[in-house]
Structures are given as C-alpha cells and as structure tokens.
A and B are shown apart, each in its own frame.
Chain A
Amino acid sequence: MNLTQKSFQLRKDVLDMIYRAGTGHMGGDFSVMDILVTLYYKQMNISPELTQDPLRDYFILSKGHSVEALYAVLADRGFFPKADLLSYSQFGSKYIGHPNNKINGIEMNSGSLGHGLSVCVGIALGVQKSGGGNRVYTVMGDGELAEGSVWEGAMAAGHYKLDNLCAVVDRNRLQISGSTEKVMSQDSQDLRWESFGWHVIHATGNDITALDSAFKEARNTKGKPTVIIADTIKGYGVSFMENNPAWHHKIPTNEEYEKAVAELAAKEAEANE
C-alpha cells in the first residue's frame, strides 16, 4: 500500500469514528490527512516505544479539532491499539475531541487555537539549548491565523532563527462561517511570515510527494524557521464534502456515510494504479 492509499484508508477510519460517535470535524480532518501522513510515515523521527526519547522529533497539532485524523494516524503507526478508536468521544474516554496528552504519542494538550506555534518555539529553543538535532513541527489552520498569539510565536521563532522549527498551514480556505477571505483575509500571509523572518514554501497539500519535497526543503533551510503553506481542499476525498463549509463539523446520514465509504474506497483503489 502506498501512502496515498494509506491516507484514503485513514480517512475511512476518521469517517467511521465520527459517524459512530456523532461528533467531530471531518472537513478539516480530510484536508490535513496528507500532511499528517507525510510527517508520521516519511519525515518525523518518532516511534511508539520511544515517545519520551529526548532525540525524538516533536509534533503539536495546533488545529486541535482535527484530532480524529491524528488518532487514525497514531493508531495505524502503533501508538495505541486501533480498537481504542471505538471509544472516541464516549463518556470518560481519553480519546476526546481535541488532543490529550494522556494518549501515547500526543505531546501536549491543545484545542484552543493559537497556542501550538508558541509551544513549538519553546520546544525548539529547548532542543537548540540542549544541542539536539531534533525537528519540531506544528500544523495550524488558516482560520487560526487570526489569533494574535500566532504572531507572537512567529515573531519569536524568527527572532531566535529557529531553523529546527517547521510550521504548516492547512490552507483549505474555509472556516465555520465560510470563506477565510470573507471572514478574515489570509491571502497576504506570505508577506507576514517573511517579514517575521520566515522561509515560506507553497505546496499542494493533498499531494504526499509535493509535501515530502517541501519538508525536505524546510529541513535544508538554515538560519530561519520555515512555514509550509499547504493548499488543501476541505473535505478532500469525498465529492459532496469538498469545499463545503457545512462539513466543518457536519455528521453524515446513513446514506451519506455509505456514499462516502464508497468514494474513499474508489480513491484508495485508484491510488494503487
């Protein structure tokens, strides 16, 4: 199975999780999935057995509402049994609707937007002070960039020239109220990042090969942090969810569920060709 297939298969796990629980953020899960797959299968030095290893790479999911995608990836990478996903959002479960560090493989609790980048600045500084070569990653949503604290983190990362830090913006152009450009424009973000001393890369965010190249470029960029603006499609993989803001947190009907399963299976098969 190639990684594109893997990413459609994991979307199916997300669909099951959210359909069963009746809660979740499918649109953002589907847009971010290829970014997570590229990080967890190709880029990051992590392993289920060594989650406290000081040499590990660090990942913080700043857009914490996409946690279902992260759960699917972590389960598939063996951080916890896949059967645990059955308890997602059930009463008393640790598999809650935002990242929870009681779960093996999750570094920090998140969910409130605008924290992840600053936390990663702290981790990157700590790693740098210890002389480590670890890399630090975070994924933010494009709507999240309206939080002022993001730019405090961006300013500090640029100031301290944290080239071990790579941020990814899941640029799907939609937030709950609709288009990001209508809610709060993000189209000028290249200039913003660059003015804070960042290296900016644009990549097709639902293409694992393109993302992998972008992460390699980030790794080779010295003296400044890198942001990858990953152009993604919200709801990617299911035709009727794509680019539809309703699917930010809509729950599929039985019919929609069956249709989505079939479409994801077809995409997975197609990716094998």
Chain B
Amino acid sequence: MNKIPNRQAICDVLVEKAAGDKDIFVLCSDSRGSASLAEYANTYPEQFIEVGIAEQNLVSISAGLAKTGKKVFAASPACFLSTRSMEQAKVDVGYSNTNVTLIGISGGISYGSLGMTHHSNQDIASMGTIPNMRVYLPSDRHQTKSLIKALLEDTRPAYVRVGRNPVADIYSEEETPFILDKATVLSEGTDLAIIACGEMVSIAFEAVKALKEQGISATLLDMYCIKPLDKEALLNAAANAKAVITLEEHSIYGGLGSLVSQLISANCPKKVINLALPDEPAISGKSKEVFDYYGLNKEGLIKTAMELMNDVK
C-alpha cells in the first residue's frame, strides 16, 4: 500500500519546481504540518508565507500576491478554506481572476472523528458556483502531481481538494495518463457508467473489477475535473451504458452527482444514482468507518450496481 498522501505529493511538486522558479509562493494558515508543507517552508523560507489562523486573510493576501506576478498556492483545511473564506475566494480570486490555486487539505470526512466543523462536504458546491473558479479532486498521488504541474503552467484560479490519508495507487510513476480538464477512462463497458472523483476513484476501481467477474461491464471515469466537467467523456460513457452511478465524498447536494445528473438529464436521459454523503451532519469515526456506514465502499457500489442492473433490464 502506498504510504504517501496526496497532500505530500503536492508539496513534492512545489519543492521540485520552486528550485527554478522564484515566483512560486506557498501560503498557509498555521497548517504547514497538516498540509505537509514543512519541507517546502524549510527549503524556501523566502517563498513561504504564514498568515496564522486567519483563512479569510489567507485568500485575500494570496490574491494580492498574485497581482504582483507571483504563482500562488494557498493551503488550508478544506473545511475552512472553502466556506469560511468563500467570499474572499469569490471576490478576490474568482471575480478578480487572480493566479491563485487554493488547496483544500484533509477534505471530505478526512477529519472523521472531529465532527461536522471539520468535515468539508460542501466544497464542490461552494467553490463550483464561483465563476472562473475551477474545481479538481485528484484521485491518487500520481494524478495529484500531474495536476499541480499543469496548474503551475497556467494563470487561472483553481481549487484543489485532497484528503488526509494515503490512498491506493491507481496510476504509476511510469504511467499516469493526464490531460488537463479531460477525465481519465479507467475501464470501458456497456452495462454501466460509473463516474467517481477524488479518493472514491480507488474504491470504484476495485468495485468495477469485482463487477466484471459477475458479468457486469462498466465504464469507469476518473472525473478529477469537476469544473470544468469533461462533458464529452461523460456523455460518451452515459450513451454507451444502460444507467449511471456517481460516487463522491461530498454532500449529495451540489456535488459531482448533481452536476452529472443535470448534464445527463438534458442530453441523454437515463437513470442516474448518486452515491454521496446524505444531507445531515455526518456520523463521526475513522474515514473508512464513515464510508462503510453510508455505503460509500466497494460493497455498497457493487450492491447499487446489481440492483440498478435488475431495474433497467
């Protein structure tokens, strides 16, 4: 099992790239440890800014820095960054169109036992409704690295959410298919289209393998680009399937499932089931315990897939 969380992968890329680029700036809000940024802070103290526990300030300062030509990465727990600072993200980053990448760390229910204050089940919805703001939930450390490298090369606002713990590799050092804003097709099938994002992709990946053994073939899309959503890949997958399942670590309202359902109902109507967190303060516990409780696991996905196949036959 891989032991490197996606947040560490982000730091690794920034450390590597900052060596040759004095314009890269990383900011945090008393979160250098939780964001795995200590190595960056120690290596490039002149390109690192600590703002203290002040997430609104974090985002506005980032936007100001970007005005002076810096490539700015601001990391803070996703729960605070995406909603406490939402107005700063809306006005100073999205509306003013500044070169800021907001990095939401320990997203979803990574801080499982800390309760709803520390869960970020609203970040796709909040960040996704800000014009100019792109929203990415990379699935493993290799894709995370590819994404951060791509974001270093452009100047538009973005929000990236990663979790706290290591997740199983889907890709490899040698082979990480990645085109910015294009979903990665992990398998192709004719029965179901499964659309997953973030760290749920590895769960879906395992479920798809198990479904195949039971004679159900599924297309699996790693939809790391929630906004802009890769409509072409999505409609292709849906058109070739009898039904669609979405899987995400986010509220059932306003996340990947909502966006996919909107698009499919308008273009190639068919049954879509959204697997996500319900509209309630999530139960607390370790991530895996919480996922198991809500059926956001391999078994839950397989069960939903089997029921759905019976329905649409």
Q: Which residues of chain A have a CB within 8 Å of any CB of chain B?
A: 54, 58, 101, 107-112, 115, 118-127, 129-130, 148-149, 152-153, 155-156, 159
Contact = CB atoms under 8 A, between A and B. Distances in A.
A96 to B, nearest CB: 12
Contacts of B57: 118, 121, 149, 152-153, 155-156
Contact of A122 (B52, B61, B97): B61
Given A109-B95, A110-B91, A125 B60 contact: no
Nearest to A100: B95
Contacts of B61: 118-119, 121-122, 125, 153, 156
Contact of A126 (B68, B88, B95): B68
B70 A156 contact: no
B6 interface: no
Interface of B: 25, 46-47, 49, 51-52, 54, 56-57, 60-70, 87-88, 91-92, 95-98
Nearest to A102: B97
B67 A126 contact: yes
Given A122-B64, A123-B65, 15 more contacts: A58-B67, A101-B96, A108-B67, A109-B95, A112-B91, A118-B61, A121-B57, A122-B60, A123-B68, A130-B68, A148-B56, A149-B57, A152-B54, A156-B54, A159-B52
A127 B68 contact: yes
B56 A125 contact: no
> Considering residues A108, A111, A121, A159, which has the most beta carbons from chain B within 10 angstroms of its beta carbon?
A108
A73 to B, nearest CB: 20
A118 B46 contact: no
B51 A156 contact: yes
B56 A126 contact: no
> Considering residues B47, B69, B92, which has the most beta carbons from chain A within 10 angstroms of its beta carbon?
B92
Contacts of A124: 64
22 contacts: A58-B67, A109-B95, A110-B91, A115-B92, A118-B61, A118-B92, A119-B61, A119-B63, A119-B67, A121-B60, A122-B60, A122-B63, A123-B64, A126-B67, A126-B69, A127-B68, A129-B25, A130-B68, A155-B57, A156-B52, A156-B54, A159-B52
A118 B68 contact: no
> Considering residues B52, B63, B64, B88, which has the most beta carbons from chain A within 10 angstroms of its beta carbon?
B64
Nearest to A148: B56
B247 to A, nearest CB: 36
Contacts, number: 97
| Minimum-distance CB pairs A-B, first 3 | A122-B64, A126-B68, A118-B60
A58 B98 CA distance: 15
Prevailing SS type, chain B contact patch: helix
A54 B69 contact: yes
> Considering residues A107, A130, A156, A159, which has the most beta carbons from chain B within 10 angstroms of its beta carbon?
A156
A159 B273 CA distance: 51
A112 B68 CA distance: 22
Contacts of A155: 52, 54, 57
A149 B57 CA distance: 7
B67 A152 contact: no
B63 to A, nearest CB: 6
A104 to B, nearest CB: 15
Given A109-B95, A115-B92, A152 B64 contact: no
A9 B28 CA distance: 46
A108 B92 contact: yes
A43 to B, nearest CB: 19
A130 B91 CA distance: 25
A142 to B, nearest CB: 20
Contacts of A122: 60-68
A148 B64 CA distance: 18
A127 B92 CA distance: 18
Contacts of B64: 118-126
A264 to B, nearest CB: 33
B63 A112 contact: no
A93 B25 CA distance: 35
A112 B87 contact: yes
A231 to B, nearest CB: 27
Contacts of A153: 57, 60-61
B61 to A, nearest CB: 4
Contacts of B54: 152, 155-156
B59 to A, nearest CB: 8
A155 B30 CA distance: 15
B92 A126 contact: no
A181 B88 CA distance: 28
Contacts of A120: 64
Contact of A109 (B60, B69, B70, B91): B91
A120 B68 CA distance: 11
B74 to A, nearest CB: 10
A122 B67 CA distance: 8
Nearest to A54: B69
A107 B67 contact: yes
Contacts of B69: 54, 126, 130
Nearest to A116: B60
Nearest to B46: A129
A130 B22 CA distance: 9
B56 A152 contact: yes
A40 to B, nearest CB: 19
